[in-house]
Every structure is written in C-alpha cells, then in structure tokens.
Amino acid sequence: MSIADHDIITDRYFFPRPASVGDAQVVDVGEAQLACYFHDGGHDLTVVHFHGNGEVVADYIPGFANQLDQLGVNTFFAEYRGYGGSTGTPRLGAMLDDVGAIREAVGVPDEKLLVFGRSVGSIYAIEFAARFPEISGLIVESGIADVLERILLRASPQQMGTTLEAMTDEFENLFDHRKKLEAFDGPALFLHAEYDHLVDKSHAERNAEWTGSKTRLVIFEEGDHNSIFFVNRQRYLDELDRFFELVRAVGFT
C-alpha cells in the first residue's frame, strides 16, 4: 500500500460525514460506490466539481448547483469514498484513480467539459486535468500546490514507519502538481483568499505560475478558506461566468 494511503493520513487528514442526496448517480470504483450527483440543465458545458474536506456533495445541492445553472453550465458533483452517501474509506492516493471512473460516468465530450476543485478537491481536479488534458478548462479554489507540505502538518514519517526521503519520493510520484499543470494547456482559473488561514495563498500563486498562458489568478481581499465564496459571492460568480465565456470562445471556435 502506498504511504499516501496509510491509516494515519486517512484518520488525521480526512473529515468524512454521512449525508444522503436524492437521485444520486452511483459511480463504481471497485473498492467503493461513490454517491455523486448530476445537475443537468441542458447546457453546452458541464463542470465536474470536487468539493473540499469536511464537505459533502449534499452541501452544494440545490444552492450552488442552481447558481451554476444560472451561469449556463451543468454540474457533476463528485463524491469521495466514505463521504456523503458513498461507501468505502478515503485514501489520499487511491482516490486519484477514482478520477477515471468519474470521467467515464459523466459521459460528456472533452471539449464540453471543465473540472473544478476546491481545497482538497484541487488534488483530484488537477489529476483530472492531467489524465484528460483535452478538457476545456480547469478551476481551482483555495487549492493546494504541495500536497506533502499539507500532510506533514498532521503526520510525520516516523509515525508511519517510513522516512522523509521515501515519503518525498512517493508524493512526488503521485502528486507532482507542477508537472501536471505544466502539461495542461487549457484555460485555468485560480481563486484564493488573501487571508486564507488554512492553505496559504502561496499555493495558488505556485499553481498559477505552473499553468499555461491562458491562466487567471484572482486573490480576494476579503474572506478566508471557508468563507471565500460567501463573502465574495457576486464577484466569485462573476469570475466563473467570465471564465465560462472564455472557455466557450477558446474551445468552440
């Protein structure tokens, strides 16, 4: 088993909670059944959304789903193992492979597909963009540039019976965001709060620097990690709307 899937990381890093969602679209990933949700408004673009830690898909329905519907996009809300109505246990590394099953379940052509990751969801959104580089866009909010940096705040190599060198090698193999983002040539939008108390804005700056020329970095002066959307709601939605229009202009011409 990968160091990234160690029980200590699962117990200290993830905060799953149960919450059911009606009309769930179940995605089979072998070791678990993911209770996802597809909000289909019949639009030309579909966003695959990976939520933050301590959140569940049900938190985004119907509110955020309806708001994105009003911006003219469908939304597929991906759930994690052990979260919401899903079975299984969250595993940091193993869940990278869930991206493939989620992509297949969405059933939308790459040119009409975007991926959106918030906080820990940025790990899986960036993986999605790396595996499917022909998608039309990437959105990262309050995202993570260095995954190992975040994990070492809660678990030491010694506690997991390994070394920092071995852990560094494994995380570079699985979570090299620089390599993944440099390989993605589509439009990208990074949103972050100036005073994010959990994930420093330097993570957004690094991610944006590693991405291609069609990149926009927005740092909100108000709000923090968990209030960024609520405090900046209108500007946040305006940035998304602007990005969706850019994707249409770039991808549909």
pLDDT tens per residue, range 205-231 = 999 999 988 999 999 999 999 999 999
Say how many domains are in the chain.
1
With 0.95 as the threshold, say if the pTM is over it. Answer: yes
Residue 27: domain span: 3-251
171, two tokens: 């995380």
Q: Is 230 exposed, middle or buried (0-12, 13-18, 19+ CB in 10 A)?
A: exposed
**DSSP-derived 3-state class of residue 242:** helix
Considering only CA atoms, give the Rg of the chain: 17
The domain spanning residue 33 has which CATH number? 3.40.50.1820
Distances (CA, A) of 212 to 28, 97, 215: 33, 25, 6
Query: Rounded to an integer, what distance in angstroms lies between the CA atom of residue 212 and that of residue 199?
Result: 22
Along the chain (253 residues), what's the average pLDDT of each consecutive run of 10 residues?
Answer: 96 97 96 98 98 97 98 98 98 98 97 98 98 97 98 97 98 98 97 97 98 94 98 98 95 51
